A = this chain, B = another copy of it.
Amino acid sequence: MAMRKSKQETALTRERIVRAAASEFRQHGIVATGLADLMSAAGLTHGGFYRHFDSKDQLVAEASAVALAATTEKIAAAASREPGRKGLEAVVCGYLSTAHRDNPRDGCLLAALGNELARADVETRNTATAAFLKMVDIVSGKIDEAKPEEAKKRAMVAVSTMIGALTMSRIVTDAALSKSLLRNAEECLTSSGGASW
């Protein structure tokens, strides 16, 4: 049963653990996810964990980085599909979809872990900060009717709105309200010249 694996297999195993962690943390939260759960989700026993990582915190940092990279890539892809405001709409619609709401395990880490990230160690929070700024930059690049500085401000608020609305849509027990939350935020963020509030 127990046996050494080739270097290639070892690297794949490590990736598998990180991906499983990225999913499990987003689904159940960091504190609530045990290493044993996580390793068995990756198809391994928990004893082997420390061949790959120094601690749970290190895995949290790596898994967070992987999860955030996936999200920024998705957002960048949606943004580049169409130019200007149309691209912005694609980003917002994707982020504020019921599919995203119902699948935190492969969705945005910032919305899935919010408060736990605020309590995570510095490395993880640095990664989260960088990812947030990247999202802001992508969105900002799609607001072409404003000066860059102003566009960045608006983008920062827009991303905050997306995170807040998605988070609330997952908390709320009323299905209609949950959907309204997503749709209202979407409308508000994509209405071009309309009134603000």
Contacts and interface: CB of A to CB of B under 8 A. Distances in A.
Contacts of A158: 197
A42 interface: no
Given A29-B115, A160-B161, A165-B157, A188 B196 contact: yes
A195 B194 CA distance: 7
Interface string A106-147: 000011111111110010011011001100000000010110
Contact of A117 (B126, B171, B189): B171
A181 interface: yes
A32 B119 contact: yes
Contacts of A119: 28-29, 32
Nearest to A123: B173
A21 interface: no
A54 interface: no
Interface of A: 28-29, 31-32, 88, 104, 110-119, 122, 125-126, 128-129, 132-133, 143, 145-146, 153-165, 167-168, 170-174, 177, 180-181, 184-185, 187-197
For the complex of A and B, list the 7 residue pairs with the smallest distance between their C-beta atoms, beginning with the closest. A164-B164, A114-B114, A160-B164, A160-B165, A118-B170, A163-B164, A161-B161
